[in-house]
Amino acid sequence: MISDRGVARAYAATVALLLAVSACEIEKVGIPPTESMVSLHGVLSASASSQVVLLERTRNGTVRMFAPPFDLADPIISDEGVAESGAIVTLTTPDGQTLTAVEDSRVRDDRKGEGIYRFSLPGSALIADGNYQLSVQTLGGEVLAAETSVPEGIAAVDAQQATFDRSRDTVFFEWPESPRARSYFVRIETPFGPRSFFTDSTRVRLPGGLRNVDVTVLPHVFIPGFPQAVTVSAVDSNYYDWYRTHNDALSGSGLVNRVRGGIGVFGSLVRLTYVDYEVVAPQTEPIAGTFKFVGTELEAETTPYLALHLYVESPSSRSDQGDALSGRFERRPTFTQPNEPIDGLLGTITKSKVELSFLRNWSSADTVEVFRGELHGDTLVGSYRGFGGIAHFVKQ
């Protein structure tokens, strides 16, 4: 016969078991999709050959996204965006003309460029301090409007070429004041993404040891072996306010938006300074230098990569980690890439073990091939992850 105390214990155990089982059941709640809005991005540039406006929809979970590798000719679709196609986009100039944009996908044979609307208006024709009014009407009947005034200044169209030794040089720029500009935007292209900031001054100093605080791991801004463009632009208030503000992760607020009927930016800028630097650094380590491919006549005719130009970008501070490498590689010209035989690489060397990532368009975000090998004296021997086979490179 079970006592009352035993019954109580059994009841408590049963309740505990039921609670444990129910705790494992995760309640499924359907979250309704948020309202999708039209997002607009357009910046009139005094140094551009034409003026471009991008239109896409904000994501709300109703469209499943799939994108191929990023393609500059198709930036919205290839970046998992929802392009807003078929809109009527017009621009009214300060002298009263009304220009109508043409969507890139309507005139390209490959049909790329959905959501990219282009005005046949060269930057040299933009009127300084003139007011430009943009109007957008989507197929769904939504209407967006925005306006901007182009800052004053002489546009730097072509890049100056210069060599920059990261170990000893400092970039120093000084430019004439643009009276009606809201601010000046400094941008340095790097393989890890741009380092950019606003300044109210008309001069800037960039030392060779500058770090990129826009990237979590704080890499150097200037990377040996890479071409890196540095630009300074006078910008209007719309551009300044949009890019200096950020969307709060919790509240969703914080952006300064002046596009009526949608979200985004319609601004203008004048690029005042444009220098393309070839970044170098003195090298004494065995892995640093130019390595050229060597092999049989057949191997020489089929190898995809002809040479490696390597730098020790940063020596490791720990014995269990490798030194960081940077530089560039030379590929064999092909029908698909006849004019782009050189691109950037990043890698490491740990003792004599070498690993190199061959990049696409000088960007660390896109690797086209990986080489793993070992340094034996002046010879680098290894294989490719994709192409396969054994490759030998000899230091020159």
Answer yes or no: do 315 and 379 share one domain: yes
Of 307, 233, 218, nearest to 273 by C-alpha is: 233
Q: Which residue has the tokens 């003139």?
A: 130
In a domain, 1, yes or no: no
Q: Which pLDDT score is estimated for 12?
A: 57
CA–CA separation, 258 vs 249, rounded Å? 21
Of 246, 245, 233, 240, nearest to 266 by C-alpha is: 240
Helix (H, G, I), strand (E, B) or coil at 350: strand
Answer yes or no: do 184 and 94 share one domain: no
Residue 151, classified by CB atoms within 10 Å of its CB into exposed (0-12), middle (13-18) or buried (19+), is: buried
Q: Which pLDDT score is estimated for 266?
A: 97
DSSP state of 72: T
Q: Which pLDDT score is estimated for 251?
A: 58
Helix (H, G, I), strand (E, B) or coil at 258: coil
Of 171, 177, 232, nearest to 202 by C-alpha is: 177
Q: Which pLDDT score is estimated for 138?
A: 96
Distances (CA, A) of 368 to 248, 331, 363: 35, 12, 10
Q: Which pLDDT score is estimated for 207?
A: 96
Chain centroid, CA 205 distance in Å = 24
Q: Are 312 and 325 in contact (CB under 8 A)?
A: yes
Answer yes or no: do 274 and 328 share one domain: no
CA–CA separation, 313 vs 283, rounded Å? 9
Answer yes or no: do 278 and 179 share one domain: yes
In a domain, 259, yes or no: no
CA–CA separation, 26 vs 165, rounded Å? 58
Q: pLDDT means per 10 residues in the chain (396 residues)?
A: 52 54 57 76 96 87 48 59 91 97 92 93 95 96 96 95 96 94 96 94 96 89 97 96 77 80 95 97 93 91 93 87 94 68 95 95 93 96 90 96
Helix-then-strand count for the chain, H and E: 4, 24
For 300, phi and psi rounded to 5 degrees? -65, -30
Query: Partners of 323 in the beta sheet?
Result: 349
Q: How many domains does the chain have?
A: 3
In a domain, 199, yes or no: yes
CA–CA separation, 96 vs 333, rounded Å? 49
Residue type, 346: L
In a domain, 222, yes or no: yes
* Domain end position, chosen among 124, 149, 174: 149
Answer yes or no: do 117 and 163 share one domain: no
Q: Using CA of residue 223, residue 229, residue 230, residue 236, what is the dihedral sign?
A: negative
Q: Which pLDDT score is estimated for 68?
A: 46
In a domain, 173, yes or no: yes
Q: Which residue range is the domain that position 353 belongs to?
A: 283-395
Answer yes or no: do 374 and 294 share one domain: yes
Answer yes or no: do 313 and 211 share one domain: no
Alpha helices (H) along the chain: 4-24, 104-107, 237-244, 297-302
Answer yes or no: do 143 and 236 share one domain: no
In a domain, 71, yes or no: yes
Question: Which residues, 6 or more positions from 336, have their beta carbon under 8 angstroms from its beta carbon?
Answer: none
- Torsion angle (degrees, nearest 10) of CA 391, 385, 332, 311: -70
> Around Cβ 322, how many Cβ atoms within 10 Å?
16
In a domain, 21, yes or no: no
Buried b (16+ CB within 10 A) or exposed e, 100-130: ebebbbeeeeeebbbbbbbbebebeebebee
* Domain end position, chosen among 149, 183, 201: 149
Q: Which pLDDT score is estimated for 58?
A: 86
Residue type, 391: A
CA–CA separation, 111 vs 75, rounded Å? 13
* Domain end position, chosen among 93, 128, 149: 149
Answer yes or no: do 238 and 310 share one domain: no
Q: Are 311 and 288 in contact (CB under 8 A)?
A: yes
| CATH number of the domain bearing residue 138 | 2.60.40
CA–CA separation, 181 vs 236, rounded Å? 5
Answer yes or no: do 132 and 144 share one domain: yes
In a domain, 44, yes or no: yes
Answer yes or no: do 278 and 289 share one domain: no
| CATH number of the domain bearing residue 306 | 2.40.128
Distances (CA, A) of 54 to 83, 150, 263: 8, 19, 12
Answer yes or no: do 168 and 128 share one domain: no
Distances (CA, A) of 143 to 54, 135, 137, 263, 365: 15, 7, 5, 12, 36
